Amino acid sequence: MSTAPAPVAPGRAIDPDDPREQISVSVLMQNGRLAGRTFASSAEAEAWAQPGEQVVEYNLLCECDR
């Protein structure tokens, strides 16, 4: 599974061991299911997505507010 770097607030460091920072990018298809792959970036997912589909970022480990 590939992960994209999470956006970082100015002056805030990313802890690569923090599960809240392990964000995946995929595409929510029109049938309500996620695409069967993840993407290295939101831009890559946007290029792959079909009209009406939505690029989503999620964390498999938790639903954490960043």
Residue 26's pLDDT band, with cuts at 50, 70 and 90, is very high
Domain ranges of the chain: 19-59
| pLDDT beyond 90 at 48 | yes
Share of the chain above pLDDT 90, in %: 48
Q: From the CB of residue 38, how many other CB atoms can be counted at a distance below 10 Å?
A: 19
Confidence (pTM): 0.64
| pLDDT beyond 60 at 3 | no
- Give the mean pLDDT of 32-56: 95
| pLDDT beyond 80 at 64 | no
Query: Taking Cα atoms as reference points, which of 53, 58, 57 lies closest to residue 33?
Result: 53
Distance of CA 34 to the CA centre of its chain: 11
In whole angstroms, give the CA distance from residue 28 to residue 58: 11
